[in-house]
Amino acid sequence: MKSSIQRDRKVPIGIALRSVCSLQTPFRHSAQSYDCVHVVFIATIFFFLALGSGGSRLLRAQDPTVASTPPMGWNSWNHFAERVDDQTIRAQADAMVASGMRDAGYTYINIDDTWEGERDAVGYIHPNNKFPDMKALADYVHSKGLKLGIYSSPGAKTCAGFEGSLGHEKQDAETYAKWGIDYLKYDLCSLSTEMRKTPTPEDAHQIMIDAYIKMRDALRSTGRPIVVSLCQYGDDAVWRWGLDVGGNLWRTTGDISDHYARMSDIGFGQAGLARFAGPGHWNDPDMLEVGNGGMNIEEYRTHMSLWAILAAPLLAGNDLSIMTPETTALLTNREVIAIDQDKLGKQGDRVTAEGPIEIWARTLADHSKAVGVFNRHEAPLSATVDFRALGFRGTVTVRDIWHAKDLGPMKDTYTVTVPPHGVVVLRVR
Ligand code: GLA
């Protein structure tokens, strides 16, 4: 329909519609040809309405097949920081396969900061000597059925003081595509120095927007689908404009650390952001710390559960080659991952808070709800889930996800004891 209308722009729309309907279709020569004109006309109106509203946002977004669910994978920063090198990446890719994480849905192996070397005489970036051959590394990661991510900054320098992309966006995008990169984390870092030089906050904001758009366009012109992860620590309410500057995900906060206090501040601080996320564009409360050793198992369970209810990217940040069975079990729990990766892509939010007891819920594609009953206190506490407050009427069926146990039909409420800093995750329908 669209192409036949576009071929002759001077044909009035009514005639164009009629000619569409006179094509060899089941409508032809039947009394329904009049209906066809109406159907096509209405469809056209909807098409243009969609362009004028949400549709224009969709057109500005990345390839919709990219990050249609929150990206899952691994990132080097939380555990290895500047110690990451080619061998580390290969070992993590191997471990992602051997541990069963790949089969559970983890896909991206992301190199964070400190891979960058010098630019050559014409301005193309080269990796430093920790990464002798980036293309060969990408081939290796791809051969495992995984994808490779990389990191840069719109500023002149990255946060760790390495070469950023400022003034070389097109060259860098071309280089990433040539290497076979599938994901870019683009971290503000030293661009904030340029932003501080401007007279007003609006000017500073514009510098940042322009910089992200520049990289978005450069990546698009390579023709390679590359997930774009914006990292600017959640400033200027990035969730409102992250999609428009090409982000598939955007950090909503400063850096996470491997402590319950920091993880829970960030995680529970996501309340109210749900409406800004959806397929192809996600709020990112930062990478996982599960398995890094600074939290106990209940705290890591809270971390994993909250991130799943938040439809957050699940980027493991531990050393996958030395995981305990408990860590592997936390990271690969299929039912928790199914909540995170639910196709509807509707981020969950806080429903109630009674002091340190918080109940969060997320609506899933099958109309069930994932419910997290969190205890932020340092001692066990009982909590009561009121199914009516979650929108249910009458009898519900309830499954305890971490215990992998059907609790059977229930009515009105469920009272459960939640461990210190822990969680009970229910799937209710
Ligand atoms: C910033 C980011 C981190 C990490 C470091 C690397 O702090 O927020 O996630 O990428 O830079 O230098």
pLDDT digits (tens, 9 = 90+) for 344-380: 999 999 999 999 999 999 999 999 999 999 999 999 9
Check pocket membership of 77 for ligand 1, CB cut-off 6 A: yes
Cα(125)–Cα(107) distance, rounded to whole angstroms?
Answer: 26
CA 60 to ligand 1 center in whole angstroms: 27
**160 touches ligand 1 (CB under 6 Å):** yes
**Could you tell me the pTM of the whole model?**
0.86
CA–CA separation, 229 vs 221, rounded Å?
17
Among 157, 183, 187, which is best to mutate for testing ligand 1, by the most ligand atoms less than 8 A from CB?
187
Q: Would you place residue 62 in the very low, low, confident or very high pLDDT band (cuts 50, 70, 90)? A: low
Tokens of 155: 């500023």
- Supply 87's token pair: 């061998």
255 lines ligand 1 (CB under 6 A): yes
Residue 113 is a catalytic residue? no
Q: Is the CB of 289 under 6 A from ligand 1?
A: no
Given the residues 63, 235, 244, 255, select the one marked as catalytic. Answer: 255
For residue 105, what are its two tokens?
């849905």
Q: Is the CB of 113 under 6 A from ligand 1?
A: yes
Listed in sequence order, the residues at least 6 apart from 198 whose beta carbon sits closer than 8 Å to its beta carbon are 204, 207
Measured CA to CA, the distance from residue 197 to residue 206 in angstroms comes to 12
Please say if the pLDDT value at position 399 is more than 90.
yes
The answer to whether the CB of 184 is under 6 A from ligand 1 is no
Residue whose Cα lies nearest atom 9 of ligand 1: it is 255
The pLDDT of residue 201 is above 50: yes
Tens digit of each residue's pLDDT (9 = 90 or more) over 129-163: 999 999 999 999 999 999 999 999 999 999 999 99
Query: Ligand 1 centroid vs 74 CA: distance in angstroms?
Result: 14
Taking residues 339-346, what's their average pLDDT?
Answer: 98
Q: How far is CA 258 from CA 290, 293, 362, in A?
A: 8, 7, 25
- Ligand 1: which atom is nearest the Cα of residue 151? 10
Summarize the confidence of residues 111-138 as an average pLDDT. 98
Residue 63 pLDDT: 63
Q: Choose, from 182, 187, 258, 286, the residue flagged as catalytic.
A: 187
Strand arrangement of the beta sheet that strand 108-110 belongs to: 282-284, 249-251, 227-231, 183-187, 147-152, 108-110, 72-75, 314-316
Helix, strand and coil content of the chain, in percent to the nearest 5, comes to 40, 20, 40
Among protein residues, the one whose CA lies closest to atom 6 of ligand 1: 113
The region, left, alpha or beta by phi > 0 then psi within -120 to 50, assigned to residue 7 is alpha
85 classed as catalytic: no
Q: Calculate how far, in angstroms, residue 159's C-alpha sits from the geometric centre of ligand 1.
A: 6
To the nearest 10°, report the CA torsion of 304, 305, 306, 310.
100
The answer to whether residue 50 scores a pLDDT higher than 60 is no
Q: How far is the CA of 154 from the centre of ligand 1 (A)?
A: 13
What DSSP letter does each residue of 160-181 carry, written as one string? Answer: TS-B--TT-HHHHHHHHHHHT-
Nearest alpha carbon, ligand 1 atom 11? 159
- Give the distance (Å) from ligand 1 centre to CA of residue 160: 8
Task: Report whether pLDDT(224) > 90.
Answer: yes
Q: What's the gap in Å between 104 CA and the centre of ligand 1?
A: 26
- List the alpha helices (DSSP H) in 223-344: 260-268, 297-309, 325-332, 334-340
